[in-house]
Amino acid sequence: MRAPPLLLLLAVCAPPPCDAAAPTPPGWEPAADAPWCPYKVLPEGPEAGGGRLCFRSPARGFGCLAPACAVHASAGGSLRASVLRNGTVLLQWRLAPAEARRVRAFALNCSWRGAYTRFPCDRVLLGASCRDYLLTDVHDSVRYRLCLQPLPLRAAPAAAAVPEPAECVEFTAEPAAMQEIVVAMTAVGGSICVMLVVICLLVAYITENLMRPAFGRPGLRGQP
């Protein structure tokens, strides 16, 4: 039995079956048995100690959706910064499983460029299970530079482990507040212009039809 021509046409024009969703690359998110990320925000200065141990939950399944978010990646591609319009930046990184087994912690260095020099911001020491870190209160129109360096496991002095090179990413947060003000002012200005046009048309209509002198009416003197 032959299929109707319409069914054959639909079969030809139908899109191919969708491919299976690509799995998340290993290392972008912490393991399922690591529900917390331990970290320390180190004080400014050359000293490596200090800081209070804190914990944060990882950002699993995070998606950066434009235009409310923009992604900036490092040259090696293993570090990325998702810059949100609310003044926060989510930093994410990934490691190969073999590299992750040799890492004991991560050192995060933050700096931003001023008019003549660079100024340090947060220095953070993160646990080996961490794969993201959230920066808050990021200033608008400032060039930030974030560098993440994996710290190897402690080894014997004769076989000291060589530290991995740091991955760096740079970005500039857009002034979201100013953009919202400009958009609001543009919307208000457009509404005012529409109202003025409506008022002008209404005044012209009243002048033309209601306030015109009544000429040509028959006078009483013409009546018998």
**Alpha-carbon span 10 to 168, nearest angstrom:** 51
The predicted pLDDT at position 114 comes to 76
Q: Using 50, 70 and 90 to split pLDDT, how confident is the model at 168? A: very high
- The answer on 98 and 195 residing in a single domain is no
Lowest model confidence (mean pLDDT) among 6-15, 43-52, 55-64, 124-133: 6-15
Per the DSSP assignment, residues forming a β-bridge with 55 are 38
Task: Kindly tell me the burial class for residue 79, based on how many C-beta atoms sit within 10 Å of its own C-beta (0-12, 13-18, 19 or more).
Answer: buried
Q: Which residues contact 154 (CB under 8 A, 6 or more apart)?
A: 104, 161
pTM of the complete model: 0.62
Both 188 and 150 in one domain: the answer is no
Q: What is the pLDDT of residues 98-121, one digit of tens each?
A: 888 889 999 999 998 877 777 888
Domain-located, residue 159: yes
The number of distinct structural domains making up the chain is 2
Q: What backbone phi and psi angles, to 5 degrees, belong to 205?
A: -65, -45
* CA dist., res. 172 & res. 72, Å (int): 10
Domain that holds residue 188: 174-204
